[in-house]
Amino acid sequence: MGAAKTSAYYSVAPFLGVFFGILFLGERPGIRFYAGLLIMVAATVLMVKDTIALQHTHEQTHVHTHEHRHGDLVHSHAHEHGEE
């Protein structure tokens, strides 16, 4: 899965803990909870956004030179390979 995706998935674990605490334990959050919730949501959005930004591709090109032999004739020339 990769470290970036794994960290993004784990970043939502505190939200699940709060949800289950409210659902099963009957907890009622106060004003500090909502202030913390805003910070947690902002941090999670930034982390997930950064994780998505890491998923990209690059076009690669390289050039190499090598010798060819055709009987008594020896010559060299460059070859270019492009990969997407």
What mean pLDDT do residues 17-29 have?
91
Task: State the pTM of this model.
Answer: 0.42
Name the phi and psi angles at 78, rounded to 5.
Answer: -85, 145
Q: Across all residues in the chain, what is the average pLDDT? A: 77
Residue 26 has pLDDT above 80, yes or no: yes
CA dist 15 and 28 (Å) reads: 14
Q: Which one is predicted more confidently, 48 or 76?
A: 48
Token couple for 9: 């998935």
